[in-house]
Structure 1
Amino acid sequence: MQVKKYQAADTQQAMRLVRAAHGPDAVILDCRSIAGGVEVVVSLEELLESSAPATHSSTMFASAQVNLASARDTRSEREPTALDALFNRRKKAEEQSAPVAKEAVAPNRETAAGPQVVWSQNEELLTMKQELASMKSMLMDQLKGHSWQHASHQTPEYEELNAFLSAMDIDPALGKQLRAEIPADETVSLQREMLKMLLIKKLSVATPPSSGAICLVGPQGAGKTTTIAKIAAQYVLTHGRSDIAILTTDTARVGAQEQLRAYGRILQVPVHVAADEEEAVKTYRLLRKKNLVLIDTAGISFRDKQGISELHRLVSAMQDVQVFLTLPADTENYVQSEIIDAYSAFNARGAVLTRIDEAMRIGGAMSNLIQHRLPLVWCANGPRVPQNLSAADASKLVNMAVRMTKAFEHKRQPITAPKEPEKQAESVPAEVAMARQTQRGSSLNVRV
């Protein structure tokens, strides 16, 4: 069967693309939610039949029309599908909306000719979004640098320590608290050792659980699925495969279920898939007799408040679930802080710091964990299963952050007074030059 997929921000825009490309008689096979919108799958078989050469006989053409008509009648008499529910929901929302909004939308429908590109998928807008994100990151770095410069001007006795904190990418507010506990009259090397001890003391670390239900939440691409596979592999190597199960609710990302099923076949661990909240709760109740149940969830952006709310309702429906936040180490510090704030409703018992091997510095991640009082449970520093997952160790993490700092430390040069610029020869008229020369000669004769 030949099919074609259309992706859009919502169902109405997706159907607009389908009608513009294939007409009102397009056969829709599937409609499912994806990251950033919906995806509609259209069958191309009937369309290919209708576009065949005109050499067919009139009898075949008539039978084709009868088949199309019967297919449409069958579709009209079938039970309502998820796509029909989406259409009805969208229609009710439009009926309840204000007339002004309808008038504003109507001209766009009338002037639309052919498939229209959804505004959120416009290449220029995506490029602009990336540029704005990079500009924001650059401005945040500059503001942080200005904060450290201001701190050095206010406390010149901590100038070297401030430079070290800045190179570690420690948040200025946290750096101020740490600096207040370090004597200013100590040597630079001793101040750094005291700073390391303070970071190890303030970075909270929790012991990874070895039983119960473990659920990982976090944004897209944070490494939840791979971390689930690593935890499962380590458990199988230690306790065997008879008392563990994996449950995934990630039906939006392409390949997520296949990835977990592949690991399940390798480890000989059952992998269960739940399409909605009701199915997830029922499956979880059946799996609770297992010693360890690992729950993988769909990645949701920290800006998607509705998606996070729905995920929170799903997790809350399953009793005695230990929630852990998956935090990527290679993202900007302010993004990490927003991720922690967005998922604060889950009351996560700890965090999994992933993609450490792709991060240039991890001082910002440690700052966010300390400031939000979020314990660190696991550290993932690579994609290998199960080698690249270990229990969190504050001492090892701080020492790693110090080693990463060496590439960002700038050699400080002694401050010297700026040299006066050399005076350039003045271009003056010849008469003025001769007068000056005569004046010098007369003064010389007087001195003699």
Structure 2
Amino acid sequence: MKMKRYFAPDMRQAIRRVREDQGPNSVILSNRRVPGGVEIIAALDYDEALVNQALGAYENNSRGEGEAAEVPSGMDKPYPGENIGDPAAESSIQSIRNDLKALRDLMEAPLLQFGWGEMRKVQPLRANLLKRLMALGLDATLCREIVDKVVESGRMENGWAASLKLLAEMLPVSDDDILSEGGVIALVGSTGVGKTTTVAKLAARFALRHGRRHVALITTDSYRIGAHEQLRTYGRILGIPVQTAGDKDELAAALNHARDRKLVLIDTAGVSQRDMHLTEKLSSLNTGGQEIHNYLVLSATSQAQVQSEVIRSFQKSGLQRCILTKIDEAGSLGGTLATLAHHGLPAAYVSDGQKVPDDLHPARGEKLVKHAVELMQQRQEALTEDALAFNFGGLVANAHV
């Protein structure tokens, strides 16, 4: 009988290593939490008597590490019902939780594999469509919603094209055009997402269409070294004056000075979505005078979870639209599209480079989906069966929410 010990960060990875090493007929003899992850003992050519003998020896050898020393007879032993300290109790509870999680993971992994395998057999068209949508980078909830709608419409024979068309229709894009209507627009967002460059692109585009005398630039970024100078450099190149506003009163004065301009663009300081004072900092944009429209600048290179966190945080101060930047740097676009679909925040523009003003385009659902498919094809990375089964577990869970 061949017994072997495996270590991995979590139970799913441990089971996968067992299966890759010993094949599907291996038997898991024991599992336990260890520093840094989990430990599994698995065997081929299973023999119960030999297993019990081997595990007994293993437990005897490791017992000295896990058991406390016996209390000497001369010392007081705690009464069975005595509270011996909250930290110890918390530690015991956490240990139980860890054991339960390990047991759940151990049971879930083969069940998810089984469930995904059954779907591929019983509903091959649905399974293939889910697989392609997952490869696109969409989350389980959106994948299921799209496939359900395609099934209901009776378009499964052309399911992939129907799914992409449906995804494009689900993306919130804005019909409003800053370059036509103008207004007072503040670009807000985290540090490093490209707010200043986007301000320059919008200003250049508007100036080309309406004339530079109809554009004004204001910066409120007093935190980043060189932030004022960067925008002033763009202003000099474009022939557009740039004003600096360090507080609400100065912003009100700058807006009043630019009241005859059709388009006023405000470049704000980058603020982390986890900044406790985010709402307070953004409140300085509310001058009580002209109406300011907040556009969130969102980087397509950020993780979907981070993008959702950013939207939720900045929405507290009011958002009208968003602008997607760094499209050209993103390795996958599916997560970003899913984020837009879930939050319903309309995208006004997309930026796909550093060129001013060329690399700025109106957001269009079909073009975003097309680019997401192109990125998927460039990656040429097929999802593993384990990843598909894991995502299938998310589909099942969401189906019962």
> Which TM-score bucket, shorter chain as reference?
0.5 to 0.7
| Cα gap change, 1:299 to 1:185, in 2 (>3 Å) | closer
SS in 2 for 1:402: helix
SS in 1 for 2:350: strand
CA distance in 1, matches of 2:309, 2:114: 26
Q: What are the superposed Cα offsets for residues 98-141 of structure 1, whole Å, 9 maximum, x if unpaired?
A: xxxxxxxxxxxxxxxxxxxxxxxxxxxxxxxxxxxxxxxxxxxx
* Contact 1:355 1:380 (C-alpha < 8 Å) held by counterparts: yes
Percent identity of equivalent pairs: 35
CA distance in 1, matches of 2:318, 2:279: 13
Tell me how far 1:151 sits from its aligned partner.
7.6
SS in 1 for 2:345: coil
CA distance in 1, matches of 2:383, 2:356: 43
CA distance in 2, matches of 1:150, 1:250: 55
1:395 is matched with which residue: 347, 366, 369?
366
SS in 2 for 1:245: strand
* Contact 2:135 2:382 (C-alpha < 8 Å) held by counterparts: no
Tell me how far 1:409 sits from its aligned partner.
4.8
CA distance in 1, matches of 2:155, 2:362: 34
Q: What are the superposed Cα offsets for residues 395-437 of structure 1, whole Å, 9 maximum, x if unpaired?
A: 11111111111144556899xxxxxxxxxxxxxxxxxxxxxxx
Could you say which residue in structure 2 is the equivalent of 1:309? Answer: 279
CA distance in 1, matches of 2:259, 2:114: 55
Could you say which residue in structure 1 is the equivalent of 2:222? Answer: 251
Could you say which residue in structure 2 is the equivalent of 1:98? Answer: none
| Cα gap change, 1:354 to 1:176, in 2 (>3 Å) | same
CA distance in 2, matches of 1:251, 1:412: 46
Could you say which residue in structure 2 is the equivalent of 1:173? Answer: 141
Could you say which residue in structure 1 is the equivalent of 2:244? Answer: 273
Q: What are the superposed Cα offsets for residues 282-317 of structure 1, whole Å, 9 maximum, x if unpaired?
A: 2112212211100010000111021x1122211122
1:381 partnered with 2:381: no
SS in 1 for 2:141: helix
SS in 2 for 1:346: coil
Q: CA RMSD in A?
A: 2.7
1:199 partnered with 2:170: no
* Contact 1:312 1:345 (C-alpha < 8 Å) held by counterparts: no
| Cα gap change, 1:402 to 1:344, in 2 (>3 Å) | same
Q: What are the superposed Cα offsets for residues 375-396 of structure 1, whole Å, 9 maximum, x if unpaired?
A: 0100000111001001111111
Unaligned runs of 5+ in 2: 1-108, 386-401
| Cα gap change, 1:155 to 1:289, in 2 (>3 Å) | farther
* Contact 1:148 1:166 (C-alpha < 8 Å) held by counterparts: no
SS in 2 for 1:285: helix
Amino acid at match of 2:177: P
Unaligned runs of 5+ in 1: 1-144, 415-448
Amino acid at match of 1:223: G
1:208 partnered with 2:177: yes
1:239 partnered with 2:210: yes
| Cα gap change, 1:234 to 1:150, in 2 (>3 Å) | farther
TM-score normalized by the length of structure 2: 0.63
Instruction: Tell which deviates more after alignment, 175-184 or 191-200.
Output: 175-184
Listed as ranges, the matches of 1:215-234 within 5 Å are: 215-234=186-205
Tell me how far 1:341 sits from its aligned partner.
0.6
| Cα gap change, 1:386 to 1:148, in 2 (>3 Å) | farther
CA distance in 1, matches of 2:219, 2:118: 53
Amino acid at match of 1:292: L
Could you say which residue in structure 2 is the equivalent of 1:116? Answer: none
* Contact 2:135 2:383 (C-alpha < 8 Å) held by counterparts: no
Tell me how far 1:347 sits from its aligned partner.
2.3
Amino acid at match of 1:381: D
The 4+ residue runs of structure 1 with deviation greater than 3 A are 145-156, 184-189, 407-414
Amino acid at match of 2:242: V
CA distance in 2, matches of 1:385, 1:375: 23
* Contact 1:219 1:302 (C-alpha < 8 Å) held by counterparts: yes
Tell me how far 1:242 sits from its aligned partner.
1.1
CA distance in 2, matches of 1:368, 1:150: 30
SS in 1 for 2:295: strand
Could you say which residue in structure 2 is the equivalent of 1:105? Answer: none
Amino acid at match of 2:164: K
Could you say which residue in structure 2 is the equivalent of 1:83? Answer: none
Amino acid at match of 2:144: K
* Contact 1:250 1:296 (C-alpha < 8 Å) held by counterparts: yes
Instruction: Tell which deviates more after alignment, 282-291 or 195-204.
Output: 282-291
CA distance in 2, matches of 1:348, 1:410: 36
- Count of residues in Structure 1 that have an aligned counterpart in Structure 2: 269
Larger CA Rg, structure 1 vs 2: 1
* Contact 1:223 1:326 (C-alpha < 8 Å) held by counterparts: yes
